[in-house]
Amino acid sequence: MHSRAHHPVRLLTLAWAAVSLAGVTAALATPPSGTTSRNELAVGKITDKINIQRSDPSDFHIQNLTLDPGASSGWHTHPGPEYSIVKAGEIVLERAPACAPVTLKAGDGLFIADGMPHIAHNESKDPAELYVTYTVPAGTTVLRQDATEQCGGK
């Protein structure tokens, strides 16, 4: 006949094991040393669905893009995914095939899948500044390809 009195012993043993393992994990951590500094350039919330997978070598590009009032990127694609953050101002972004215009303001992020036709334009009275990144196959030199108009005339 088994007594329920053994269960507290098992629970105590499991709790001790968990605490012991936590101590091992903490012991493996390495604290920073020396003088380091970090300057965060921008943070943007991205609500788009994101799916990136690359098994071959890639080049990662970071650019600062400014769209003056009335400026447009024109319809185009990229040979890899784009992550961008609006640093200042605002843009209107359209992506095919959905084409629904989205206004993005400072602090907003965006994701554009590899090969997705899109356009960004600045309809405001102030310049829009973005941090733009691309992950492309290693050695790619052309980061932008013109595309035909997709969504009815912009």
Euclidean distance between CA atoms 68 and 124, whole angstroms? 9
3-state DSSP call for residue 88? Answer: strand
Domain ranges for the chain, please list them: 58-146
Sheet with 128-137, side-by-side order of all strands: 58-67, 128-137, 82-88, 109-112
Euclidean distance between CA atoms 78 and 24, whole angstroms? 46
For the chain, what's the residue count?
Answer: 154
| pLDDT at residue 112, as a whole number | 95
Euclidean distance between CA atoms 104 and 121, whole angstroms? 10
CATH number, span 58-146 = 2.60.120.10
| pLDDT at residue 54, as a whole number | 79
Which secondary-structure segment (H or E) carries 109? strand 109-112
Euclidean distance between CA atoms 100 and 119, whole angstroms? 11
3-state DSSP call for residue 63? Answer: strand
Residue type, 66: T
Contact 61, 133 (CB under 8 A): yes
Contact 147, 94 (CB under 8 A): no
pLDDT of the chain, 154 residues: tens digit per residue: 555 555 555 555 555 555 555 555 556 888 888 888 788 887 888 887 887 787 889 999 999 999 999 999 999 999 999 999 999 999 999 999 999 999 999 999 999 999 999 999 999 999 999 999 999 999 999 999 999 999 876 4
- What letter would DSSP give residue 97? T
In sequence order, the β-bridge partners of residue 66 are 129
